[in-house]
Every structure is written in structure tokens, then in C-alpha cells.
Structure 1
Amino acid sequence: MHSTLTGHARCLYGDEYSPTPECDRDHREFLFVERLTFAGADEIRAMLRALCPQVVDGHLPVWIRNLAYRLLLLQRPDEPALLREAAESLWLHGPDWDDIAADLTARADTLEAERSRSEP
């Protein structure tokens, strides 16, 4: 198995910024999705940062990117910056998810407003 989620994604989908490493391991997509499903928030975030640093770029399929953000938000539901990043990704990759992106942005706004009211 690949040593990191990022390495596994890089072998399977390639990387716009780094060469795809030579690898003799199994690259069946379901194995990557299994690994992504049970990855921790830090590992998922590291993969997204490495392979899609500008949100609009990278070779990850849109459905993998959406799944990664969904899994990340399930683990860290109260991070406004992360909610906004996920919303931005949804807006950039089709109008089908605009309502979800708007909800994520509204949730980020609400969290930030609550935090600013509670700060001294």
C-alpha cells in the first residue's frame, strides 16, 4: 500500500505540480476511495493542499474532490475557512452544487458571527 493518501492519489491520478512516481502497486480506484473514506482530517487536507493548491487546479476527479471535502467537513464541521474552501470548490465545478455551496458559506458566516459575538 502507498505510504500516504497523497502518494496514493498522486500514483492514481497524477500531479499537475510533481512527476507521477514510478510505482508497481495496485492502482484500482476503489482501494484509494477506501483509504480516503477512513483517512483523518489532516491527511485529507494534506492531499488536497498538495494536489489542488489553488482549488481550481489539479488532476483529482471532481467527484473525488467533492468526497474529500465532504469527509473533511464531517470531521471538522466548525471551521469557517474550510467551509468556504469547500464551497469555492463546489462553485468552481458546476452549478449542480450551488445550493450546497451557498449553505456552506452561510454556515461559515454564522460560525464567524457567533465567534465574534463571544470574543471579549
Structure 2
Amino acid sequence: MHSTLTEHARCLYGDEYRPTPECSQQNKHSDAYFVEELTFAGADAILAMLHELSPRLFDGYLPIWIRNLSYRLLLLQRPDDPALMREAAASLLLHGPDWDDIATDLQRRADALDAD
């Protein structure tokens, strides 16, 4: 079994900066199992995965939908974190205009939190 969310993601999706590790669990890998693990992961584990596998928002092999889901889960756990809101907004802005309204709203909310 994988010891961390990052290790599981690296094994399943690969890593742009490190070789994909040998894994005895290859036959049990699936997006569904990973998403289940992600859903119940703590904010620190999710952030560690995002920052290690995509140190800059525009790189890494994590699928966009996994990245978006990760930021959504993070914001549910840390709803008043303006830095996290800005990071999530920047990620959304990189992937087409479909999410620009949500990104703009996140930036606006982060600015309002900073003003308080």
C-alpha cells in the first residue's frame, strides 16, 4: 500500500521530476480508488501532493480534473485561507475560460479576507 497521498498519485499518474516508483499495487490502481483516498485526505496531505507533483501550476502530470477536485476539497477544509484561494484561482485560470468566473470570484473573496 502507498504510505502517502503523494506516493499514490505519483504511482498512478507519474511524476515529471522523478521516475515512477516500482509498485506492487499496480493491479489495484484506479482513478476511483485514488479519488476516494483524496476525498478523505487532510488539507496538508492534499497540499503536499499538489506542491510536490506540480511545483509550478503549469507543470506536472496530475490530470486537470484531479487538480481541480483537490483545490475544491482544500477550500472546503480551509474556507478562509486567502493564499489558498489565490493558488486555486491561478490554477483554474491556466485551463481555459470555462473556470474564469470561479477564479475571479476566488480572487475577490481572497481580497475581501485580506481587507478584513
Using structure 1 for the length normalisation, give the TM-score.
Answer: 0.93
Matched AA of 1:70: R
**How far does residue 33 in structure 1 lie from its aligned partner after superposition?**
0.4
Q: Report the counterpart of residue 2 of structure 2 in structure 1.
A: 2
Distance in 2, matches of 1:92 and 1:82, equals: 16
**How far does residue 35 in structure 1 lie from its aligned partner after superposition?**
0.1
Matched AA of 2:22: E
**Greater Cα radius of gyration, structure 1 or 2:** 1
Q: Report the counterpart of residue 104 of structure 2 in structure 1.
A: 102
Deviations 1:54-77 (A, max 9, x none): 011100000000000000000001
Q: Report the counterpart of residue 20 of structure 2 in structure 1.
A: 20
Aligned length: 114
Q: Report the counterpart of residue 117 of structure 1 in structure 2.
A: none
Distance in 1, matches of 2:96 and 2:23, equals: 33
Distance in 2, matches of 1:63 and 1:29, equals: 11
Dislocated runs of 4+, deviation >4 Å: none
Which of the numbers 36, 39, 42 marks the counterpart of 2:41?
A: 39
Q: Report the counterpart of residue 55 of structure 1 in structure 2.
A: 57
- Determine what percentage of the aligned residue pairs are the same residue: 73
Deviations 1:70-118 (A, max 9, x none): 000000011111000000000001110000000000000000001xxxx
RMSD: 0.6
Uncovered stretches (5+) of structure 1, i.e. residues with no partner = 115-120
Please state whether the residue corresponding to 1:22 is helix, strand or coil.
coil
**How far does residue 28 in structure 1 lie from its aligned partner after superposition?**
1.1
Distance in 2, matches of 1:17 and 1:94, equals: 25
Matched AA of 2:92: L
